[in-house]
Amino acid sequence: MIENKCMYMNEFQRHTLSTDQNTSQGMDGLRFPLLGLYGEVGSLLSALKKKQRDQASYLGYEESVIEEFGDVLWYFSNIAARASLDLSVLAQRMSRTLEDWDETEPHEFGTFGDIQPLSSTREPFTSSLYEQRLIELAGKTGRLLDDVAGNRVEHNRDVLAGHLVEIFRALVAAADEANVCLDRVALRNIAKTSSRWPSPTERVYPPLFDEVDDPEEQLPRRIELDIRERGSTGRKYVRLRCNGVNIGDRLTDNKADQDDYRFHDVFHLAYCAILGWSPVIRALFKTKRKSNGNLDETQDGARATLVEEGISTWIFSHAVKLNYFASISSLDYPLLKTVQAQVQGYEVQSCPLWLWEKAILDGFAVFRCLREAREGIVVADMIERSISFKPAT
């Protein structure tokens, strides 16, 4: 589990501020990451409980533990940063006593490996000792929250610093017991949070997947699709036309309770325009990469099409409960994580989570326009990475 990489503690701490979506300041701003810290420690305990209960059937245990440790580390680092407490200084105080408590110096280049010399000669993992370390971590975190609730932290940063040192000790002890490398945990967390909440300079569109392929087998760089509802009451369907030519089959909701899913090709157009990926649109416009047998089979084939359709249907089931994302500007991480897991093995797996979020929300914005107007022109522009709606003429 140990990687030969190091992560500077203060660098990781600065990263938590750059990916922080919490704009509140002072104690109001501190309470959110405090709750997050306690919740993520609870998630570690929950993962261990599932492992003990389900044993071999809980296949995602190791990955879950690494991710949860990363979230604990993120919230812990963010709390310290909001109080202007460097992780490197807190780390030095982990080994201090009353006599030498103040004998610390800012150490910009301290790594998590400096406080966690994991050894290949460690005793084998035992869940009982790990459980004990996690309970100690939860207890120390709880005592910090108790002091916050009792207003003993707001005007005394030293109280907070003391708690954080104790929590840091317990966190390192729990990671040691689980044989989890905090350097690796921090690096994985940076990859995760940068994918979900990148800084403006990191928000760069990746190259289109087919930009070096035969131009005749590239997805159309600009599509204007005329989408109109037709049929009588109870037997309505959607017809698609592009450049005056009918495209694809007539679409219905395929469901007893009508929910307008018949307009769902908008989502495929959004994936095409913003992600640069849509096996469904490739099939509709006959741009499968037939000259490359491997791409044709593994990326543009029937299974890839089913994956895309499945994602579209699954997200739609969530959106129905939330008014088709009408008042939502940010999607929850578990939803995006699940989508990314479903496309593992396909070229689109490299797309960051923020790009998936944009594709989904922009697609539903156009869907809502179509749902209201019942017809219109949808413009998918792969160069501009945009999708838009124009009233029908």
Give residue-wise pLDDT tens across range 42-73.
Answer: 999 988 887 777 666 555 677 888 999 999 99
Question: What span, in angstroms and rounded, lies between the C-alpha atoms of 88 and 391?
Answer: 58
272 plus 183 within the same structural domain = no
- My answer on whether 35 and 98 are in the same domain is yes
Q: Based on the domain organization, do 175 and 223 belong to the same domain?
A: no
Q: What is the pLDDT of residues 231-274, one digit of tens each?
A: 877 678 899 999 989 988 887 867 767 889 999 999 999 999 99
From the CA atom positions of the chain, what is the Rg in Å? 26
Starting at the edge strand that comes first in sequence, how are the strands of the sheet with 245-251 ordered?
245-251, 237-242, 222-230, 375-381, 386-390
The domain of 314 spans: 215-390
Residue 324 forms part of a structural domain: yes
Q: How far is CA 313 from CA 149, 176, 228, 276, 374, in A?
A: 44, 42, 20, 19, 20
The answer to whether 168 and 50 have CB atoms below 8 angstroms apart is no
| pLDDT greater than 60 at residue 326 | yes
Enumerate the β-bridge partners of residue 375. 228
The answer to whether the CB of 157 falls within 8 A of the CB of 85 is: yes
Is pLDDT above 80 for 216? yes
- What is residue 274's DSSP assignment? I
In a domain, 175, yes or no: yes
CB neighbours of residue 221 within 10 Å: 15
C-alpha of 252 from chain center? 32
202 is a domain residue:
no
Q: Are residues 18 and 165 in the same domain?
A: yes
Does 172 share its domain with 232?
no
Q: Say what the pLDDT of residue 1 is.
A: 37
Q: Would 21 be classed as within a structural domain?
A: yes
Residues 191 and 245 in one domain: no
**What average pLDDT does this structure show over 31-36?**
95
- Does the residue 203 lie in any domain? no
* Count of all residues that appear for the chain in the document: 393
- Shared-domain flag, residues 324 and 275: yes
Asked if the structure places residue 251 within a domain, the reply is: yes
Please tell me the distance from the alpha carbon of residue 71 to that of residue 192, in angstroms, as a whole number: 10
Mean pLDDT, residues 309-323 taken together: 96
Q: For a pLDDT cut of 70, what percent of the chain falls above it?
A: 91
* Residue 239 shares a structural domain with residue 288: yes
Q: How confident is the model at residue 83 (pLDDT cuts 50, 70, 90)?
A: very high
Beta-carbon contacts of 114 under 8 Å, excluding residues fewer than 6 positions away, are 91
Number of structural domains in the chain? 2
Residue 109 lies in a domain: yes
pLDDT attached to residue 186: 96
Specify whether 376 is located in the same domain as 277. Answer: yes
Helix (H) or strand (E) holding 390: strand 386-390
Which of residues 145, 164, 197 is at a domain's end?
197
**What is the enclosing helix (H) or strand (E) of 65?**
helix 61-82
340 and 246 both lie in a single domain: yes
Q: Which two tokens stand for residue 128?
A: 């009982």
Residue 208: inside a domain, yes or no? no
Distances (CA, A) of 222 to 87, 287, 378, 382, 386: 49, 14, 10, 6, 10
End-to-end Cα, the chain, rounded Å: 60
Angle in degrees, 0-180, between the axes of helices 182-196 and 61-82, rounded to the nearest 10: 80
pLDDT bin (cut points 50, 70, 90) of residue 120 is very low
Q: Which of 41, 35, 7 is nearest to 22 (CA)?
A: 35
- The model carries a pTM of 0.89
- 294 vs 291: CA distance, rounded Å: 9
Q: What is the mean pLDDT of the chain?
A: 90
Between the CA of residue 248 and those of 231, 267, 286, 378, 387, what are the distances in Å? 17, 15, 11, 16, 20
What is the separation of C-alpha 345 from the centre of its chain, rounded to a whole number of angstroms? 18
Between CA 131 and CA 138 the distance in angstroms is 10
* Residue 185 and residue 140 share a domain: yes
Q: What is the DSSP letter of 111?
A: B
Do residue 193 and residue 238 come from a single domain?
A: no
pLDDT score recorded for residue 255: 73
φ/ψ bin of 245: left (φ > 0), alpha (ψ from -120 to 50), beta (otherwise):
beta
pLDDT of residue 97: 72
121 pLDDT band, cuts 50/70/90, is very low
Please check the confidence at residue 109 and state whether its pLDDT lies above 80: no
